[in-house]
Structure 1
Amino acid sequence: NGAGKTTTIRFLATLLEPTRGRATINGFDVVRETNEVRRSIGFMPDSYGVYNGMRVWEFLDFFGLAYGIPRGRRQTLIDDVLSLVDLSEKRDDFVNALSRGMKQRLCLARTLIHDPPVLILDEPASGLDPRARVEIKEILRELASMGKTILISSHILTELADTCSSVAIMERGELVASGSIEKILAQVAANRTASIRVLLEHERAFRWLEAQHDLSEVTREGDRIRFGFTGSDERMAALVSQLAQRGHQPVWIEEHKPSLETAFLTMTKGKLQ
């Protein structure tokens, strides 16, 4: 929180002029070509409004009209986006009768009504229950498979790891890191971390691993020993083989991959603006 995500989103959505810097969306300058940018994006803010006196189809028809979509085409588009977000059965319901998760999906449908190539979503899963979050993620995956470029702002890092192909980490208005998830995780994975379980002589196995020069931070909990190492897969296989030869009977070994949470905590200092 306070890193500048929403400010950046509002700038990209042409709702806020930048103090410095520039950006382009779909080839259009965000400041100098705002109309073209607005036609190219579907923007879903973190706090959205709905018109409670409207039915679902009327809500979408209103925004279709605002985008200049002809009446005959609007009805087809409304049916299409409602089907995409799984709200076809709610077409004639009043907006205020929808659950929070359904309203979230309706607002996503509203961002799609003019078929933009780029979607900008600010905390799209905020406040949703687990089932509704899963439904939103499934819709986003389907949209990505349709060729949409989707920019998501979120601090729920586990969901980003499941959904996104690339990430950008911000702190105090500055971009700290960006790239594919694999690239980001590789930056914090200088040391690999693994756990191994042995059946016999746990303390002796722990002391032996602790004495290995290429292992670090060796800890033990019962029959499980965790350690960091900088070696190759071949070196890891050799360690397992040596433990077996020493009579410790290793049962399994597991390498712990770094998470986005680990990357975030490593790359940021936890300060707010």
Structure 2
Amino acid sequence: MIQATPTGVHESGDACIELRRLHRFFGKTKAVNDISFSVARGHVYGYIGPNGAGKTTSMRILATLDLPSYGDAYVDGFSVVNDPELVRGRLGFMPDSFGTYRDVNCQEYLDFFARAYGLIGRQRKQRLDWVLDFTGTQGMAEKPIRGLSKGMKQRLCLGRALIHDPAVMILDEPAAGLDPRARIQLRQMIRELADQGKTVLISSHILTELAEMCDSVGIIEQGKLLATGSVEEIERQQAHTRELVIRILANEDHSEVSVADVLRNRPEVDNLVVDGELIRFAFAGDVQDQAALVAMLVNQGFQVAEVTSRKKSLEDVFLHVTEGLVQ
């Protein structure tokens, strides 16, 4: 049974995308299990999770291609349950796989969707010209789609999603299969769309790119949202945010008490591993705490020869938060 809310604009502050206790069940499988988050207007939100986590199901509900079992979602203030037609006019959806018509050219393809959205006359021509220019496909406007590379087809699909000037963009794995240059160019286009005020929800398995591109991220596994916020906020939520490797020279003055003994007694140190002169461990602290730790070791007479510090990446956080479970 679908829980509906009153038809009309939903007041949600500055949020342009909002999921409110969203559920989607397929028999006993809880593809989406009580997910709630919001994305502010003009922000890019990265949706991260293993295959089968529920990302695409959530996106299909936002795109009005599926209905929730319970809960609701809002796009630019309108309910996907009660006002799907209004949602579709405000949303551009780029699925992970999309159909193209091999025997039409790029301009004909985009013109077809412009007409489907009700664009006419000068307005339709202006949008066609703008989309071809923005996606870099104007030089291929007359080229049949069957002759396009994977990267150019992705650009064309992005143009299709943009043709009606939506407020919200839903992009499901848009960088899949692209070469490095094409991924960089796609990332630049997405950031430019956000700078124009569009709200973007994007899923990807390329976590380093999401960390550079997104204002905030959400990590989902087995249909449940495990963490959400900016990359920095999620990193701070983890117990140990950086890894330290310290090289200690052998010192006869510390034959009874080793540096490992000293470090094991400190609450900010975890997962300590001794490998000859190298001491490797997870460290809960910032750079000032790191400097204080090294100073303490030096003051106690340990000969610190080298210190290497590595802050946890989004990939590290993802591996820590998730367990690799699928449904």
TM over 0.5: yes
Find the aligned partners of 1:211 and 1:249 in 2 and give their Cα distance: 14
Contact kept in structure 1, 2:242 and 2:285, CA below 8 Å = no
Mapping of residues 46-125 of structure 1, within 5 Å: 46-125=96-175
Write the letter of the residue equivalent to 1:141.
Answer: R
Residue 236 (structure 1) aligns with:
290
1:167 alignment partner, one of 212, 217, 227: 217
2:91 is aligned with 1:41: yes
- 1:113-152 CA deviation, whole Å, 9 max, x = no partner? 1110100011111121222212211111111111110001
Contact kept in structure 1, 2:248 and 2:278, CA below 8 Å = no
Residue 243 (structure 2) aligns with:
194
Task: For residue 162 of structure 1, give the secondary structure of its aligned residue in structure 2.
Answer: helix
Deviates further, 125-134 or 236-245 = 236-245
Contact kept in structure 1, 2:171 and 2:200, CA below 8 Å = yes
TM-score of the aligned structures, taking structure 1 as reference length: 0.89
- 1:178-213 CA deviation, whole Å, 9 max, x = no partner? 22222222222x124332454743997993144231
**Structure (1 or 2) with the greater helix fraction:** 1
C-alpha spacing 1:208/1:31, structure 2 compared with 1 (3 Å): same
**Structure (1 or 2) with the greater strand fraction:** 2
Find the aligned partners of 2:104 and 2:259 in 1 and give their Cα distance: 71
Contact kept in structure 1, 2:132 and 2:141, CA below 8 Å = yes
Find the aligned partners of 1:173 and 1:71 in 2 and give their Cα distance: 45
C-alpha spacing 1:231/1:258, structure 2 compared with 1 (3 Å): closer
Find the aligned partners of 2:53 and 2:79 in 1 and give their Cα distance: 24
CA drift of 1:267 comes to 2.6
Contact kept in structure 1, 2:91 and 2:168, CA below 8 Å = yes
Deviates further, 165-174 or 51-60 = 165-174
Contact kept in structure 2, 1:210 and 1:216, CA below 8 Å = no
Root mean square deviation of aligned Cα: 2.5
Find the aligned partners of 2:247 and 2:308 in 1 and give their Cα distance: 9
Find the aligned partners of 1:49 and 1:169 in 2 and give their Cα distance: 29
Write the letter of the residue equivalent to 2:90.
Answer: S
C-alpha spacing 1:234/1:124, structure 2 compared with 1 (3 Å): closer
Residue 314 (structure 2) aligns with:
260
- 1:246-266 CA deviation, whole Å, 9 max, x = no partner? 362534442x32222333333
Contact kept in structure 1, 2:54 and 2:220, CA below 8 Å = yes
Contact kept in structure 2, 1:240 and 1:250, CA below 8 Å = no
C-alpha spacing 1:12/1:248, structure 2 compared with 1 (3 Å): same
Deviates further, 213-222 or 122-131 = 213-222
Find the aligned partners of 1:202 and 1:111 in 2 and give their Cα distance: 66
2:259 is aligned with 1:211: no
Deviates further, 79-88 or 30-39 = 79-88
Identity %: 46
Residue 188 (structure 2) aligns with:
138
TM-score of the aligned structures, taking structure 2 as reference length: 0.75
Deviates further, 198-207 or 46-55 = 198-207
Find the aligned partners of 2:182 and 2:227 in 1 and give their Cα distance: 30
1:151 alignment partner, one of 191, 201, 204: 201
Find the aligned partners of 2:77 and 2:205 in 1 and give their Cα distance: 28
Find the aligned partners of 1:131 and 1:93 in 2 and give their Cα distance: 22
- Higher relative contact order structure (alpha carbons within 8 Å, sequence separation ≥ 6): 2
Find the aligned partners of 1:199 and 1:208 in 2 and give their Cα distance: 8
Contact kept in structure 2, 1:195 and 1:224, CA below 8 Å = no
Which structure 1 residue ranges, 4+ long, deviate > 6 Å from structure 2? 202-206
Find the aligned partners of 2:159 and 2:207 in 1 and give their Cα distance: 24
Task: For residue 218 of structure 2, give the secondary structure of its aligned residue in structure 1.
Answer: strand
Write the letter of the residue equivalent to 2:305.
Answer: P
